[in-house]
Amino acid sequence: MTRIDFYVLKDGSRGDRFGLCCRLVERIYKGALDGAKPPRVLIYCPEAKQARHLDRLLWSFREDSFLPHGLVGETDPALTPILISTNDQPKTEDQVLINLSPSPEAPPFFSRFERLCEPLDHEPEIRQAGRKRYLYYRDCGYPLEHHNVN
């Protein structure tokens, strides 16, 4: 069963869900223990303009960080462990999904993943959509964790 983690920026925190996503990706990618291979990450960002924004942000959000990533359709998925997708492609990805969709609906393909991360920022629409997804996951019996982040 998919493990679901909500990461919510605390009131007064700076940044947005895209910056939070970069921090999550870095933590997940570099957090592999004892030399284990880092998990593969698919970032679901259905709006193409926002997907491009995230792509640029992942290259520049920290000077001392390198996260091998790319947009689906513009990079070789076999060589790229962090993919940004505007849909459920590639269907072979199943380890970590980060949902950047502003929709109150859960991504229809989330259950194939071992883990789902839901970063939320201060935008009222984003928080409200996140609450609706939280209730959906809870009502379906998924294990949920909530993290307040600075």
Q: How much is the pLDDT for 39? A: 93
Q: Model's pTM, two decimal places? A: 0.95
SS3 4: strand
Sheet holding 69-71, edge to edge: 69-71, 82-85, 41-44, 96-99, 115-120, 3-9, 144-149
Which domain CATH number covers 136? 3.40.50.10110
Q: How much is the pLDDT for 33? A: 53
Give the whole-angstrom CA distance, residue 118 versus residue 144.
11
Show the domain range for 64: 3-149
* pLDDT tens across the length of the chain (150 residues): 999 999 999 988 889 999 999 999 999 998 865 567 889 999 999 999 999 999 999 998 888 888 999 999 999 999 999 999 999 999 999 999 999 999 999 999 999 999 999 999 999 999 999 999 999 999 999 999 999 999
Looking at the structure of the chain, the number of domains it has is 1
